[in-house]
């Protein structure tokens, strides 16, 4: 899936070069839902916790990068700490110490 949006360079903290899509606000919902790799896509205002950065962000702040021919969802802190969708947790998952956090991938 190649989006018809302008892209800018972004670098992973370990030096891996990628291209980040500049996603217009009016296209953000559609784009993030298409790239989200798990069954249930969070709401745009849901808080996500980036395990690498140890910070929260709103899902709408997530970014999409093009890396090695694939589109990947990353946190807004990707260039600093490398957090990707698999590294996101919801506030509820962090607060729920009685059950493991499990996300099911789409087929």
Q: How many percent of the chain have pLDDT more than 90?
A: 35
> If pLDDT is split at 50, 70 and 90, which confidence band does 55 have?
very high
Full-model pTM: 0.77
> If pLDDT is split at 50, 70 and 90, which confidence band does 103 have?
low
Residue count of the chain: 107
Longest dimension (CA), the chain: 44
> If pLDDT is split at 50, 70 and 90, which confidence band does 17 have?
confident
23-38 pLDDT, tens digit each: 888 889 999 999 999 9
């Amino acid at each position: 899936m190649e989006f018809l949006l302008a892209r800018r360079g972004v670098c992973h903290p370990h030096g891996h070069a990628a291209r980040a899509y500049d996603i217009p606000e009016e296209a953000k919902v559609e784009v993030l839902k298409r790239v989200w790799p798990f069954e249930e896509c969070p709401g745009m205002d849901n808080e996500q916790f980036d395990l690498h950065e140890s910070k929260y962000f709103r899902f709408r702040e997530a970014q999409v990068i093009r890396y090695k021919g694939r589109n990947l969802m990353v946190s807004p802190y990707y260039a600093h700490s490398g957090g990707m969708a698999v590294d996101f947790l919801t506030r509820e998952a962090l607060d729920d110490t009685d059950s493991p956090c499990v996300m099911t991938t789409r087929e």
